[in-house]
Amino acid sequence: MTTVLFTGGGTGGHLMPALAIAEEMVRLDPSVAPFFVGSRRGLEASVLPGRPWRFELLPLEPLWRRRWWRNARLPLALWRSIKRIREIVAHEQPALVVGTGGYVAGPVVFEAMNRGVPAVLVEANAFPGLATRWLAWRARQVHLGFPEARERLKGGPGTVFLDSGNPIPPLPSPRPAKRDAKRKLGFPEDRSLVFVTGGSQGALAINRAVADALVSGAFPADASLLWQCGAGSLAQFTPFKAAGRIAVEAFLDPVADAYAAADLVVARSGGTVASLAAWGLPAILVPLPTSAAGHQLSNAQALAGAGAAVLLEQADLTGSSLGKSVASLLADPARMADLGRRMASRARPSAASVIAAEALKLVPKS
């Protein structure tokens, strides 16, 4: 068997691409044995136990930029984690390491590269993350989700940059008809459906704006709402459920039916944008203002500048502003269609397969 080390997590935007690439690698080469290294506090702690591959979760913590006092635990957690990472790499002897970002990826990829393991980095954002900026010069391949990221990265003599797109799970084939997907989710076929998602962890600012829009009547009364609010907020927003009109869920996995049914999406602008592009969906993007190096704002600006999405910054987000934006788009089918076409033009639906195939070229032939 050929062990390939995957690292990246904390949020779905880092974990789901890694899972998609791993699935494609195994499909292309059944001798590949993925081994995941993640964090005990990330989404991977609940997702990886349900997957067929080996994994280990470390006590790593993120680098807190604003709430800096929370970094007091970081040195000890980092020392313990690095010690264990060295043991994992030495024992597993991976033929390849694939880093998809997040605070776990940097130490794991760095240690593997120090042992001569070829590294593949997958950068999802228009503004590259810290790990990618630090490690790109030693990586063999850097796969970009946004071509705009290239100008912010410095490669080494052996680094190849590829505009591969962001990997997502394969879309259903054939794609479900919108009316069938709405019916499956319990919504009327003849009403517009707005899908609101703050990502795997939810987004409290978006959730509160949605709640305000519903209470005040700013949310269009003739539209349905599928609301993924995150596990931490589920109890708070469950009372808004209304059969046939409003569904409130903690987390949708798989999420294909939601995208197939949606007419408009309200979302953050992290890993979700790859799915929006693949499905060709018009979207209102609300970037997380505290995202590392403002990468979500960079993503949203790139898409809005290309006419592929509407940018609504969190500083301007209220129930009224959100409701007006939603109502304005639903009332303008031509603009919605144009946004969808332009979003679809950014799609790389085969990104996971492309990245897997290119990465496997680095695995030494036995």
Model confidence pLDDT, tens digit, residues 5-16? 999 877 777 898
225: in domain: yes
| pLDDT at res. 366 | 65
> Per-residue pLDDT averaged across 242-259, rounded?
93
What does the chain come to in residues? 366
| pLDDT at res. 352 | 94
Higher pLDDT among residues 219 and 66, named by residue: 219
Task: Indicate if the alpha-carbon torsion angle 234, 240, 241, 246 is positive or negative.
Answer: negative
pLDDT band at residue 331, thresholds of 50, 70 and 90? very high
Cα–Cα distance for residue pair 334/336, rounded to 1 Å: 5
pLDDT by residue (tens digit) across 192-202? 999 999 977 78
For the cut 60, the answer to whether the pLDDT of residue 97 exceeds it is: yes
User: For residues 361 and 160, is the Cβ–Cβ distance under 8 A?
Assistant: no
Cα–Cα distance for residue pair 75/261, rounded to 1 Å: 46
Q: Are residues 267 and 330 in the same domain?
A: yes
Q: Which of 137, 265, 278 is nearest to 203 (CA)?
A: 265
> Per-residue pLDDT averaged across 302-330, rounded?
97
| pLDDT at res. 364 | 85
Tokens linked to 249:
């869920």
Q: What mean pLDDT, rounded, does the chain reach?
A: 92
Q: What is the dihedral of CA 266, 268, 270, 272, to 10 degrees?
A: -30
Using DSSP's 3-state secondary structure scheme, residue 3 falls into strand
> Per-residue pLDDT averaged across 289-307, rounded?
92
| pLDDT at res. 158 | 95
> Per-residue pLDDT averaged across 236-250, rounded?
96
Tokens 């290294």, residue located: 37
Lowest mean pLDDT of 34-38, 60-64, 68-72, 279-283, name the range: 68-72
| pLDDT at res. 23 | 96
Cα–Cα distance for residue pair 166/38, rounded to 1 Å: 20
Q: Are residues 83 and 213 in the same domain?
A: no
What lies within 8 Å, CB to CB, of 142 at 6+ separation is 120, 121, 123, 132, 136, 153, 155, 159, 160, 161, 162
Q: Are residues 102 and 238 in the same domain?
A: no
Cα–Cα distance for residue pair 309/271, rounded to 1 Å: 15
Q: In this prediction, what percent of the chain has a pLDDT beyond 90? A: 77
Cα–Cα distance for residue pair 221/215, rounded to 1 Å: 11
Tokens linked to 216:
């005040």
229: in domain: yes
Q: Are residues 340 and 356 in the same domain?
A: no
Cα–Cα distance for residue pair 261/179, rounded to 1 Å: 7
Tokens linked to 147:
């071509």
Task: Indicate if the alpha-carbon torsion angle 275, 277, 279, 280 is positive or negative.
Answer: positive
| pLDDT at res. 71 | 52
For the cut 60, the answer to whether the pLDDT of residue 62 exceeds it is: no
Q: Are residues 189 and 80 in the same domain?
A: no
Q: Which of 237-266 are b and which e, b meaning 16 or more Cβ less than 10 Å from the residue's Cβ?
A: beebeeeebbbbbbbbeebbbbbbbbbbbb
Q: Are residues 155 and 185 in the same domain?
A: no
> Per-residue pLDDT averaged across 309-314, rounded?
98
117: in domain: yes
> Per-residue pLDDT averaged across 208-219, rounded?
98
| pLDDT at res. 31 | 96
| pLDDT at res. 106 | 92
Tokens 């593997």, residue located: 112
> Per-residue pLDDT averaged across 69-79, rounded?
60
Higher pLDDT among residues 265 and 231, named by residue: 265
pLDDT by residue (tens digit) across 150-173? 999 999 999 999 999 999 878 898
365: in domain: no
| The total number of structural domains that make up the chain | 2
What lies within 8 Å, CB to CB, of 275 at 6+ separation is 168, 255, 259
Q: Are residues 137 and 183 in the same domain?
A: no
Q: Are residues 48 and 96 in the same domain?
A: yes
User: For residues 190 and 171, is the Cβ–Cβ distance under 8 A?
Assistant: no
> Per-residue pLDDT averaged across 143-155, rounded?
93
366: in domain: no
Most confident of 141-150, 248-257, 329-338: 329-338
| pLDDT at res. 76 | 59
CATH of the domain at 264: 3.40.50.2000
104: in domain: yes
| pLDDT at res. 123 | 95
Q: Are residues 185 and 321 in the same domain?
A: yes
User: For residues 360 and 28, is the Cβ–Cβ distance under 8 A?
Assistant: yes
| pLDDT at res. 349 | 87
77: in domain: yes
Q: Are residues 120 and 256 in the same domain?
A: no
Angle 45-124-271 (CA atoms, 0-180°, nearest 5)? 55
pLDDT by residue (tens digit) across 126-137? 999 888 999 999
52 — phi, psi (to 5°)? Answer: -85, 5
Cα–Cα distance for residue pair 351/265, rounded to 1 Å: 22
Q: Are residues 214 and 270 in the same domain?
A: yes
Cα–Cα distance for residue pair 239/246, rounded to 1 Å: 10
Distance of CA 204 to the CA centre of its chain: 17
User: For residues 181 and 260, is the Cβ–Cβ distance under 8 A?
Assistant: yes
Higher pLDDT among residues 210 and 40, named by residue: 210
Q: Are residues 8 and 145 in the same domain?
A: yes
| pLDDT at res. 118 | 98
pLDDT band at residue 65, thresholds of 50, 70 and 90? low
294: in domain: yes
pLDDT band at residue 208, thresholds of 50, 70 and 90? very high
What lies within 8 Å, CB to CB, of 229 at 6+ separation is 196, 198, 202, 207, 236, 237, 248, 249, 250
Residue 111 structural domain: 2-168+349-360
| pLDDT at res. 12 | 75
For the cut 80, the answer to whether the pLDDT of residue 251 exceeds it is: yes
**According to DSSP H, which parts of 120-271 are helical?**
130-135, 178-185, 204-216, 234-237, 256-261
Other C-beta atoms lying within 10 Å of the C-beta of residue 315: 7
> Per-residue pLDDT averaged across 24-46, rounded?
93
